[in-house]
Amino acid sequence: MLLIHCPYCNMKRPETEFRNAGAAHIARPLDPATTSDAEWAAFLYLRDNPKGIIAERWRHAHGCGRFFNAIRNTVSDDFVTTYKAGEAPPETEAFASEVAPGSREANATGKQAETAL
């Protein structure tokens, strides 16, 4: 069984207690009235599907109930780190060397998202 560290409970818990909630750090357009349909559609539906490192929202559904963010490797299913909702993602460069080659691209994408916010 995969153990996931919950940043609120501050302990590792079995994966069955958690639910994935899609990509993290997707900023809602501040003024939807002036947002074009294309931009709105992109905000709603367009997501990266990287092979490698991805920042995701997870929820400790059968535990403390909180949403948090996780950096996960989609190839190995390895949770690099987890952090509380609202916190900035940790420096992605730091763990880039630890993960599978080929994740550099995903890493760069992560960087863009970070600066976009």
Partner 1 sequence: MAEDRATMDETAASEPPYLRSAPPLARFVFRGDAMGEAKAGEAFGLGFPEAINRAASKGERGKPGGRVALRLGPDELLLIAPVSEGQAVFAAIGTACTDIPHALVDISDRHLGFVLEGPDGADVLNAGCPLDLSLPAFPVGMATRTLFHKAEIVLWRMEPRLFRIEVGRSFAPYLEASLRIAMNEAR
> With binding defined as CB under 8 A, does residue 63 bind partner 1?
yes
**Separation of alpha carbons 14 and 7, rounded Å:** 14
Nearer to partner 1 (CB atom), residue 17 or residue 114:
17
> With binding defined as CB under 8 A, does residue 85 bind partner 1?
no
Task: Please state, as a whole number, how many other Cβ atoms lie within 10 Å of the Cβ of residue 29.
Answer: 13
Neighbouring-strand partners of residue 72: 54, 79
Question: Least distance to partner 1 from the beta carbon of 64, Å?
Answer: 4
Question: Least distance to partner 1 from the beta carbon of 69, Å?
Answer: 16
SS3 78: coil
Nearer to partner 1 (CB atom), residue 11 or residue 41:
11
Per the listing, tokens 């069955």 go with: 16
Footprint on this chain of partner 1 (rule: CB under 8 A) = 1, 8-11, 13-14, 16-17, 62-66
